Amino acid sequence: MDAKIIFDVDGTLISHRDGYLCNVQDAAKYTGLAAPSNEKLWPYRKLTMEQMAVGIYGQDAKKFIDAYRQISSETAYPLIEGVNDALKILKERGYAMGILSHRSSASFARRMEQSGIGFIRVRPDYDISIRKS
């Protein structure tokens, strides 16, 4: 079989919403900034952390991002129920699989390690640029 499957990581393989929302609240509290409501965060859900922080915090974005990254690096994001079994079945059936992410290599590798997903390697490919619509 020559079939290939490419997954997105956040929300497809890993449950990130609750952890993300808690981390945003905690980072805001830590920095003394006002914590945004979930409704205020919603328009930024498909953007990068930098874009979200600038949109919400303006000149305080860097302070927020630094706090968020520290807090987030200590947060484990669980696999969505059934993902491990599904990946094992696909592997047994001969599918080649990969994961795309907008995360930095370090953040992505950390998520893979925390989740227990056993992909062979993590590396950036700067020649590939795909945007979800």
The whole-number pLDDT of residue 131 equals: 54
Q: Which two tokens stand for residue 98?
A: 């990969």
Type and span of the H or E element at 84: helix 83-92
Domains of the chain: 1-14+78-133 (3.40.50.1000), 17-73 (no CATH)
Widest CA span in the chain: 55
Q: What is the pLDDT of residues 36-86, one digit of tens each?
A: 998 888 888 778 889 999 999 999 999 999 999 999 888 888 888 999 899
116 three-class SS: coil
Residue 55 vs residues 26, 29, 45: alpha-carbon distances, Å: 18, 18, 12
Residue 21 above 60 pLDDT? yes
Q: What is the pLDDT of residues 97-130, one digit of tens each?
A: 888 777 777 777 778 887 877 666 656 555 555 5
The whole model's pTM is what? 0.67
113 three-class SS: helix
